[in-house]
Amino acid sequence: MRKRFVSQMLVLPIAFVVLLISCSFAQSAPKQSPDNDWWKHAVFYELYPRSFADSNNDGIGDLRGITSKLDYLKQLGVDAIWLTPCYPSPQVDFGYDISDYENIDPTYGTLQDFDAMEKEGQKRGIRIIMDFVLNHTSDQHPWFIASRSFRTSPYRNWYVWRDGKGPHEPPNNWNSLFGGPAWQWDAKTGQYYYHFFYPQQPDLNWRNPAVEKAMFDVTRWWYKRGVAGFRLDAVDTLFEDPQLHDNPVLPGKNQYGDPNEENKYDQKLPQVHEVLRALRKVADENHAVLIGETYTDNLQQLKQYYGDNQELQMPMDMMLGLVNKISAPAFRHQIALVESSGGWPVYVMNNHDIVRSYNRYGDGKHNDAIAKLMAGLYLTLRGTPILYYGEEIGMENNDPKRKEDVKDPIGKLGWPTNKGRDGERTPMQWSDSANAGFTTGTPWLPVPPSYKTHNVAAESADPNSILEFYRHLLALRHSNQAFIEGKYVPLNEDDPNVLCYLRQSAGQTVVVVLNMSSSARSAHLNLAGSGKTATTLLTTMQQAPKQAALNDMQLDPFAVYIGSVQ
Ligand code: GLC
């Protein structure tokens, strides 16, 4: 049986009031103010245009489809959407291979559709963030076509061309992240070019000032069009060692059968930070935000991307989202780490490259409760969250069952060890009608059978659904001062099962209690001087009192409890 959020009689009305307050904000959304810090209190939502909403029923999502769903996003509590790339592209890597940075791919619409979406977003106070793929272009981009046409082409030095070490021998041992050597032989001009990703994604040469200028101008072009910032793709890989030293080889082979290596000379080179600082200046002039695709392993690396507030405002911290086990101590540790970074935390549980959190954290029995638990965690922390479309309805991965169905080239190459990323990119589930109401055509990827129960229409009608939980939680986040600006104060730091903390602002204190176990647990919170009871704001508990005694809280398995402390 599904759990209730709270004793409905008592708390749902409260949550509902909260929701009403936030909706009335929505209606009178002010024109975007030139506030450089707007992103700190915004909720971001990553949206995969190909899979979100299909307005012309060709089986592929499009910009008009997105525009038609802006009210849905507003009601959910979204303030900014990050669109994965929708520029013209041969779609080898589904848009991450761009052939024109200043247009829209006809599959998704036109620049006029973009402008209309942007305008409708503005009306609702929803900003647009574009994905900026700056490490590489498509091999069909005119710059690369010119670059490979002859050795003395003025564009030759826009990409990374090198002679082989010897006949049929690439310049060094670097591997592509997507399998095989990172060097592609070009018979016409008799040299190799470098590609960290697919061969159809040649790396730009960021040591060439002309490249830097052209790419900076792209950002200015979109700022003028009204975008509020960029998600910078693959920033780790912008620069390579000019001496082309071999990477140290590590034991074992990777999923493509290539030798493992340490990315010492092809990732996270210091010059990346110079580019980020310069991009940040342009962003600041435009009151824009820079989000980084930054896969960091430790605090030191994360701090470098904040760069003393001179680089990325929002380096994506995947370390919390990829803890990959429900563990109070592991999450506590990770939160403390980011809190100590000196930067504004950015939390992400899902994206278009990783298996959905519903599967990674779900135990097969309590998946919906766990989905709420994870939301109860990362949406109540200090910092900015980035949601991924569909997580708010508990969408699950739908991996291809047969190799011939795979669309993502990594899945074709890595099958069956790596089935690719199709599973986390399936169409948004709007209703229980055919193809989850995404299209009346043939969807480019199939929806999982769970769309019958996990869809927007069904969950909107169910007060205990994951979607309703997200809505209430985001409304609370937007309206409660402790959530807006309060500091994070960990409590009961040696509890192995229950994660609890306060969010505390000058005038308000909220307690968040999360039972990270499949058994009922109790928590005893002694808040010296700060209060002994909490007024319930939102909970998944079946029997939640209006007032909870903090020194003796009884928690259902995987329960979320949020209360205002007196
Ligand atoms: C980033 C994107 C991923 C893409 C890759 C190459 O990691 O998130 O989807 O394949 O860059 O652009």
Q: What is the pLDDT of residues 354-374, one digit of tens each?
A: 999 999 999 999 999 999 999
Query: Hey, is 22 helix, strand or coil?
Result: helix
Kindly state the DSSP code that residue 15 receives in the 8-state scheme: H
Give me the pLDDT at residue 527, please. Answer: 86
- Backbone dihedral angles phi then psi of residue 288, each to the nearest 5 degrees: -110, 170
Could you give the CA distance from residue 178 to residue 201 in angstroms, rounded to a whole number?
11
Answer whether 234 contacts ligand 1 (Cβ < 6 A): yes
Ligand 1: centre distance to CA 84 (Å): 10
Ligand 1 nearest atom to the CA of residue 421, by list position: 9
Name residues whose C-beta falls within 8 Å of residue 142's C-beta, 6 or more positions apart in sequence.
99, 100
Residue for token digits 């990409």?
159
Answer whether 353 contacts ligand 1 (Cβ < 6 A): yes
Nearest residue to 39 via CA among 337, 291, 303, 306? 291
In this prediction, the residues of the chain whose per-residue pLDDT falls under 70 are: 1-34, 530
Is the CB of residue 174 less than 8 Å from the CB of residue 260? no
Question: How many other C-beta atoms lie within 10 A of the C-beta of residue 150?
Answer: 11
Give me the pLDDT at residue 13, please. Answer: 33
Are β-strands 127-133 and 498-504 bridged in parallel, bridged antiparallel, or unpaired? unpaired
Alpha-carbon separation of residue 261 from 134, 173, 180, 202 (angstroms): 24, 9, 12, 21
Greatest alpha-carbon pair distance for the chain in Å reads: 77
Mutate-to-test residue for ligand 1 from 48, 83, 92, 96, highest number of ligand atoms within 8 A of CB: 96
What is the helix, strand, coil percentage profile of the chain, to 5?
30, 20, 50
Name residues whose C-beta falls within 8 Å of residue 297's C-beta, 6 or more positions apart in sequence.
319
Q: Rounded to two decimals, what is the model's pTM? A: 0.93
Answer whether 358 contacts ligand 1 (Cβ < 6 A): no
Answer whether 197 contacts ligand 1 (Cβ < 6 A): yes
Name residues whose C-beta falls within 8 Å of residue 298's C-beta, 6 or more positions apart in sequence.
none
Residue for token digits 């790339």?
85
Name residues whose C-beta falls within 8 Å of residue 155's C-beta, 6 or more positions apart in sequence.
143, 144, 146, 147
Question: How many other C-beta atoms lie within 10 A of the C-beta of residue 17?
Answer: 12
Give me the pLDDT at residue 22, please. Answer: 35
Give me the pLDDT at residue 26, please. Answer: 36
Residue for token digits 């990323």?
421
Question: How many other C-beta atoms lie within 10 A of the C-beta of residue 251?
Answer: 6
Is the CB of residue 344 less than 8 Å from the CB of residue 38? no
The predicted-structure confidence for 460-476, as pLDDT tens digits, reads as follows 999 999 999 999 999 99
**Assigned token pair, 128:** 């647009």
Is the CB of residue 138 less than 8 Å from the CB of residue 149? no
Residue positions annotated with a catalytic role: 233, 285
**Assigned token pair, 379:** 């949406």
Could you give the CA distance from residue 146 to residue 154 in angstroms, rounded to a whole number?
8
Ligand 1: centre distance to CA 94 (Å): 9
Could you give the CA distance from residue 83 to residue 75 in angstroms, rounded to a whole number?
19
Alpha-carbon separation of residue 342 from 338, 339, 372, 444 (angstroms): 8, 7, 29, 43
Ligand 1: centre distance to CA 106 (Å): 21
Ligand 1: centre distance to CA 82 (Å): 14
Nearest residue to 256 via CA among 430, 414, 45? 414
Give me the pLDDT at residue 483, please. Answer: 98
Give the closest residue (by CA) to ligand 1 atom 12.
Answer: 96
Is the CB of residue 358 less than 8 Å from the CB of residue 390? no
Domains and CATH numbers, the chain: 13-135+210-478 (3.20.20.80), 142-194 (3.90.400.10), 486-565 (2.60.40.1180)
Residue ranges of alpha helices (H) inside 36-181 are 49-52, 63-68, 70-76, 111-123, 142-147
Kindly state the DSSP code that residue 345 receives in the 8-state scheme: P
What does the DSSP assignment read for 262-330?
A: --TTTSS-THHHHHHHHHHHHHHHTT-EEEE----SSHHHHHHHHTTTTS-SEE-B-TTTT--S--HHH
Could you give the CA distance from residue 53 to residue 539 in angstroms, rounded to a whole number?
31
Are β-strands 498-504 and 533-539 bridged in parallel, bridged antiparallel, or unpaired? unpaired
Residue for token digits 């001009």?
189
Nearest residue to 203 via CA among 176, 166, 243? 176
Question: How many other C-beta atoms lie within 10 A of the C-beta of residue 281?
Answer: 10
Give me the pLDDT at residue 278, please. Answer: 98
Are β-strands 249-253 and 229-233 bridged in parallel, bridged antiparallel, or unpaired? unpaired
Give me the pLDDT at residue 11, please. Answer: 32
Give me the pLDDT at residue 35, please. Answer: 78
**Assigned token pair, 302:** 């994360």
Q: Sign of torsion, CA 151 152 158 164?
A: positive
Name residues whose C-beta falls within 8 Å of residue 260's C-beta, 6 or more positions apart in sequence.
249, 250, 251, 252, 253, 254
Ranges assigned E (strand) in 164-203: 183-186, 191-194
Mutate-to-test residue for ligand 1 from 101, 353, 388, 424, highest number of ligand atoms within 8 A of CB: 353
Residue at 261: amino acid letter: E
Nearest residue to 384 via CA among 26, 39, 36, 79? 39
Give the closest residue (by CA) to ligand 1 atom 6.
Answer: 96
CA dihedral 68, 74, 79, 80 (to 10 degrees): -20
Ligand 1: centre distance to CA 46 (Å): 14
